[in-house]
Amino acid sequence: MGGGGGRGRGGSRTQRRHFRQNRENVWKRSKSDPSSENNNENNAENRGWEPFATQNLAFDEYYKEQGIVNPEEWDAFNEVLRRPLPAAFRINSSSQFCSDIRRQLENNFMISLQSEISEGGEPQPIRPLPWYPENLAWHSNFSRMQLRKNQTLERFHEFLKLENEIGNITRQEAVSMVPPLFLDVRPDHFVLDMCAAPGSKTFQLLEVIHRSMKPGSLPDGLVVANDLDVQRCNLLIHQTKRMCTANLIVTNHEAQHFPGCRAKSSASEIGAEMEPPISQLVFDRVLCDVPCSGDGTLRKAPDIWRKWHAGLGNGVHPLQIHIAMQGLSLLKVGGRMVYSTCSMNPVENEAVVAEILRRGGGSVELIDVSSELPQLVRRPGLKKWKIRDKGRWLASHKMVSKYRKSVIVPSMFPSGRSFTEQMDGNGSMEVEEKHENGGNGNVEDALQSTDDPATVPNEQEEEVSDFPLERCMRIVPHDQNGGAFFIAVFHKHSALPANQGKPNSLKEDLGSRNDEPQVELQNQGTEGTNGMVASLEDGTDETFLEAASEVELIKEELDGASLELDPSVTLEENVLEEAQEPVDEETDPKKAGGKRKKQCQGKWRGVDPVVFFKDEATINSIKTFYGIDESFPFNDHLVTRNTDANHVKRIYYISKSVKDVLELNFSVGQQLKITSIGLKMFERQTAREGNLAPCLFRISSEGLPLILPYITKQILCASLVDFKHLLEYKSIKFADFVDSEFGRKASGIMSGCCVIVLSKDGKATSGPIEVDKSTIAIGCWKGRSSLSVMITAIDCQELQERLLARMETEKEPSEKKDKASNVNRDEVQDVKDVEKNVDKDSITLASEG
């Protein structure tokens, strides 16, 4: 329960706004699209929707030449690549309703959709992915558009939207689920997700960290999720908030410059008691899902067809190497790193892997994982490939014009050898070859002229890599009716060589020249791509995002599923007291005069600080009011985002591992730029009645599962019928509960926040409340004369459906037959009794703020 998805995401209006601002519907053209207007003029049928053109001769020529599939497979590959991508989703394994949802899919939707949709000989409409453990990931034969438009699929679509919003499932492309599986994460691992937004893979990593945790306990590990763009960090926060975890830190850095946070102070300088528990921020596992051209996502982002050109991969190649090497430097010896892209281009894949091995020397090994996930259809990596530049095919670096050597770098080629021009004593030009071992040798071949734009190298000139690149994995669309992906798994045997060949700056790595336009490299694309980056192929500077992405899978539901809280709950501007872009108040006084004074997090201006909360009076009042057991670790586990303790709105809870990292960060001068940390545990009451309560802070829905086993006061156990009525009516007067004894107890507790637990046997109990993973509890507000729920309307709806599904599952067939009439009669009479006593028009939710 401590890390499971489900109860109370809260939800930031700012974060939701960033979802919508980043949204682009790629499945139909806008009315202003000229090509769409021309099509409509020439189309006698005048269709209201026209798909994107899925032809690109440069794409076909490039990948035929690279040989990513056998020639006899090309037609099948091409045909699948031009079909819409089937929708896929994953069940949150740490959710308390994981088994219920899997059972509902297996016993309900698989059967009903088979009878409603499928015809003879057609595959199953939905099925579990055979390679994903425990039937937790599912594949459908419907595209996202079909799910939205097909009336027959409406019930299934509503199910997906609801469970995704709650956090019980995550809608995610199937191939995007693969990289975290090869990380082999354990609950005690420190994990870094370098390019994390929008967060589907981060959520997946958190599931593993929290798996098998007992209620009220937290794992020893953590996940640090990083992204370059502050708006995408908000998307990441919105996504991972559904996990309800205290073991997550979200940071806002360039991945290639992610800080290592090495403590320099010694015990003799500051005293042993002042030293941080850890001396350096290093990780057991690193997920390096780098920015890429994203052409593996053509099935869900068809606008890529018209934008694709061969220079995309060339442009992002140096950044990918830089990020990967930084990831390896942050990896512990003995740790594992996964490098992945959603591109099919060998320049972004095998070429990067070869350069990593080249720079790492013997300290890094490319692991053979062909025996893992045996049912996953994958293909070996390529050993040879060519470079396409300015219309020319290049087989080695010696073929590169001297004017392009700063752009087409040696690491792009299979051998990695570079060639430089030198003048001999007679003024003649020679070509000097630099081998991998540092030796030089002269070759007689002169640099080829760029006059012939279609020069294709002879077969004998092609280079072949010496590294075991066949250990890489290529996933192609027509093998499993999915997207394309590339994955390589590294093991770090020893520290990296002192001279890795890593450039001093990204600009140096890109080989910038005054006569070349610069490429804007942005780590802000989509899940799996983190950005599509144009190159210098056509001499232009173009950066564009992959339009249909994992972000779409998350945000498309925002318009259809309500995120508004029940009226009994005040929704603050929950933007983590929002992390904002730095603003120089002295140079920009207009921006400085905003709604509130911008704070600083160390050197990070405009970012709210992270402060340990040590207000003993407030902490003791919370402990006393809720009767929190002393065994629950409070000291140094509470943080806020406000330096003024008197105006703290939210108190966050952090695990021991997060606390250790935070203390290290303080000791090194706050090198980490933290946008989100920990689990929202307590929220300040703001309404008039809330201010009159003995305790000024209520327990948040996100934090309730963690602290629930330790609460001894303000907690009651309700019967099934009263629990259901609370979810249905939102507020009930004490005298109107079916169980009068429960109503009497509810009226006797102190005003303010309280917790209502569903009884195991369906009847209210007076003894101690035992908590396990199946325990269902909600936060409520005890007012003067009534009890009101403090969870969102969508949470109420989902809980009611879960209860109904669980009741149907637990009933034996014989009991249904023998006792149906009596049970139905009793339940109907209970509802009628409540409806007589509860005047719906006069129900007012307790004003909690």
The verdict on whether residue 713 carries a ligand-binding annotation is: no
288 and 489 in contact (C-beta within 8 Å)? no
The verdict on whether residue 200 carries a ligand-binding annotation is: yes
What does the alpha-carbon distance between residue 88 and residue 170 come to, in Å, rounded to a whole number? Answer: 9
Question: Beta-carbon neighbour count of residue 164 at 10 Å?
Answer: 22
What is the DSSP track for 201-215? HHHHHHHHHHTTPPT
470 and 383 in contact (C-beta within 8 Å)? yes
The verdict on whether residue 197 carries a ligand-binding annotation is: yes
What is the DSSP track for 612-662? E---HHHHHHHHHHHT--TTS--TT-EEES-S-GGG--EEEE--HHHHHHH
Q: Which of 9, 3, 4, 34 is nearest to 558 (CA)?
A: 9
771 and 216 in contact (C-beta within 8 Å)? yes
What does the alpha-carbon distance between residue 53 and residue 590 come to, in Å, rounded to a whole number? Answer: 46
SS (H, E, C) 90-126: EECCCCCCHHHHHHHHHHHHHHHHHHHCCCCCCCCCE
What does the alpha-carbon distance between residue 180 and residue 11 come to, in Å, rounded to a whole number? Answer: 26
What does the alpha-carbon distance between residue 817 and residue 822 come to, in Å, rounded to a whole number? Answer: 10
CA distances from 379 to 478, 479, 807 (A): 12, 9, 46
What does the alpha-carbon distance between residue 376 and residue 625 come to, in Å, rounded to a whole number? Answer: 53
700 and 795 in contact (C-beta within 8 Å)? no
What does the alpha-carbon distance between residue 511 and residue 503 come to, in Å, rounded to a whole number? Answer: 10
29 and 35 in contact (C-beta within 8 Å)? yes
The verdict on whether residue 227 carries a ligand-binding annotation is: yes
Identified catalytic residue from 342, 717, 753, 754: 342
Cα 461 from chain centroid?
43
Active site residue 342: yes
CA distances from 730 to 139, 795, 843 (A): 36, 11, 9
The verdict on whether residue 94 carries a ligand-binding annotation is: no
What does the alpha-carbon distance between residue 347 and residue 355 come to, in Å, rounded to a whole number? Answer: 11
HSE-CB at 188 with a 13 A cutoff on CA atoms is 0
Q: Which of 182, 157, 154 is nearest to 169 (CA)?
A: 157
Q: Which of 619, 768, 628, 620 is nearest to 216 (CA)?
A: 628
Q: What are phi and psi of 440, to 5 degrees?
A: -115, 150
Are β-strands 752-758 and 715-718 bridged in parallel, bridged antiparallel, or unpaired? parallel
The verdict on whether residue 754 carries a ligand-binding annotation is: no
The verdict on whether residue 196 carries a ligand-binding annotation is: yes
The verdict on whether residue 199 carries a ligand-binding annotation is: yes
What does the alpha-carbon distance between residue 156 and residue 149 come to, in Å, rounded to a whole number? Answer: 12
Cβ contacts of residue 646 below 8 Å, gap of 6+? none
Helix, strand, or coil (residue 599):
coil
Using alpha carbons only, give the angle 470, 471, 472 rounded to the nearest 5 degrees: 90
6 and 702 in contact (C-beta within 8 Å)? no
Binding residues, by number, are 195-201, 227, 289
Active site residues: 342
Binding residues for S-adenosyl-L-methionine, by number, are 195-201, 227, 289
